[in-house]
Amino acid sequence: MRVLFFGMLGTLTRLPLAALLAADVELCALVLPAEIVPPFELVDNGRSSHQSITPIRPQPPALNLLAMDQLPSPLAQAAVRGVPAFAVRQLAAAETVATLATLKPDLICVSCFPHRLPPAILNLPRLGCLNVHPSLLPRFRGPVPLFWALRSGVPETGVTVHFMDENFDTGDVALQRPFPLPDGITHAELETQLAQIGADLLVDAVQKAAVGTLPRQIQPPGFTSDPWPQDSDFALDTGWSARHAYNFMRGTTNWERPYSVQVDGRRVWLKTAVAFDPEGHLPQPMIRQDGAVLLQFAPGILTAQPLVN
């Protein structure tokens, strides 16, 4: 079975792609958005920017690593296995669709690709298109589900492999696996954990699709897609638990945004979370102590580093 893979250069693409290659799935090509591919990697060296799709000449990795999931990028994985790679600028262009059609994919797999696939591409493979999404759909649709899961304070998230339709993250669910959120997990740690779960689920989904046993279940109505976070979405609420505030701050430091919280009618700016006491109680809403700020939440105490001492 021939699989066409769409992705990016990060962990949420690298690990699922590595898992498919390790499982000896036949990858007919890797497709990446042109804006993330260095010009020197393109066959035309970036000169034909008017083309809707351009072949990529991946640079082979300098290290002879045995494990596919240790290779530094999806392009390195493609180079080692001799998988053709393409940079796409216009997905709906006739040139793009014609080029991908010549690959004769039986299935399209997507993990972390940032653009919507048009109907002409969705309809190319006979078995449909599968997407790896790092949440338990239908909750936390959209481009940044990890942020919204942490902001909501849910005790667990997970990964969904779903069939793709013309909208983002709304297609029928095929496979899901939950992941309990440990206290203090960072974005990088969470992304890696979910990428590995997604890798396992995607291999399972591809193997089931090949023999016609992959389930599919319609997503329930009433759910919407979460937007890109605004500065106001980094504000803390003292009505949260201290655990909730701590885990939100720890898991979203990759955004490099300051956090704010209202205390006694004034706004306090925070940089990083240091610790939390789940049941602690302060004699007043906020105490400054040894360069840190202790804040009363409901319940518990959050200890944080202020943005400015």
Domains, the chain, in order of start with CATH, read 2-211 (3.40.50.170), 235-306 (no CATH)
Q: Is the pLDDT of residue 65 over 80?
A: no
Please report, as a single letter, which amino acid is at residue 4.
L
221-233, pLDDT tens digit by residue? 999 999 999 999 9
For residue 27, how many C-alpha atoms fall within 13 Å in the half-sphere facing its CB?
Answer: 30
Mean pLDDT calculated for residue range 235-251: 98
Number of neighbouring beta carbons within 10 Å of residue 26:
12
d(C-alpha 148, C-alpha 215), whole Å: 27
Cβ proximity of 73 and 14 under 8 Å:
yes
d(C-alpha 103, C-alpha 260), whole Å: 51
Mean pLDDT of the chain: 92
88, 87, 83, 90: which is closest to 105 by C-alpha?
Answer: 83
Mean pLDDT calculated for residue range 212-219: 98
So what's the pLDDT on residue 38? 80
Residue 130 bridge partners (DSSP): 109, 163
17, 83, 16: which is closest to 55 by C-alpha?
Answer: 83
Mean pLDDT calculated for residue range 210-219: 98
Number of neighbouring beta carbons within 10 Å of residue 176:
17
Please report, as a single letter, which amino acid is at residue 57.
R
d(C-alpha 294, C-alpha 309), whole Å: 13
Cα-to-chain-centroid distance, residue 122: 20
Burial bucket for residue 80 (CB in 10 Å: 0-12, 13-18, 19+): middle
- Rounded to whole angstroms, the maximal C-alpha distance in the chain is 70
d(C-alpha 92, C-alpha 20), whole Å: 26
Q: Rounded to the nearest 10 degrees, what angle do helices 187-211 and 11-22 cross at?
A: 40
Mean pLDDT calculated for residue range 124-150: 98
The DSSP string of 122-144 is: HTSSTT-EEEEESS-TTTTBSS-
145-161, pLDDT tens digit by residue? 999 999 999 999 999 99
256-272, pLDDT tens digit by residue? 999 999 999 999 999 99
**Confidence label for 66 from pLDDT (cuts 50, 70 and 90):** very low
Number of neighbouring beta carbons within 10 Å of residue 177:
15
So what's the pLDDT on residue 304? 98
Residue 222's contacts (CB-CB under 8 Å, 6 or more residues apart) are: none
Does the predicted TM-score (pTM) go above 0.85?
A: yes
Q: Is the pLDDT of residue 179 over 50?
A: yes
According to DSSP, residue 106 is labeled S
CA 93 vs CA 62, 87, 88, 112, 113: distances in Å: 35, 13, 10, 21, 17
For tokens 């936390």, the residue is 140
**Confidence label for 49 from pLDDT (cuts 50, 70 and 90):** low
Percentage of residues in the chain with pLDDT exceeding 90?
84
d(C-alpha 12, C-alpha 202), whole Å: 12
Q: Is the pLDDT of residue 67 over 70?
A: no
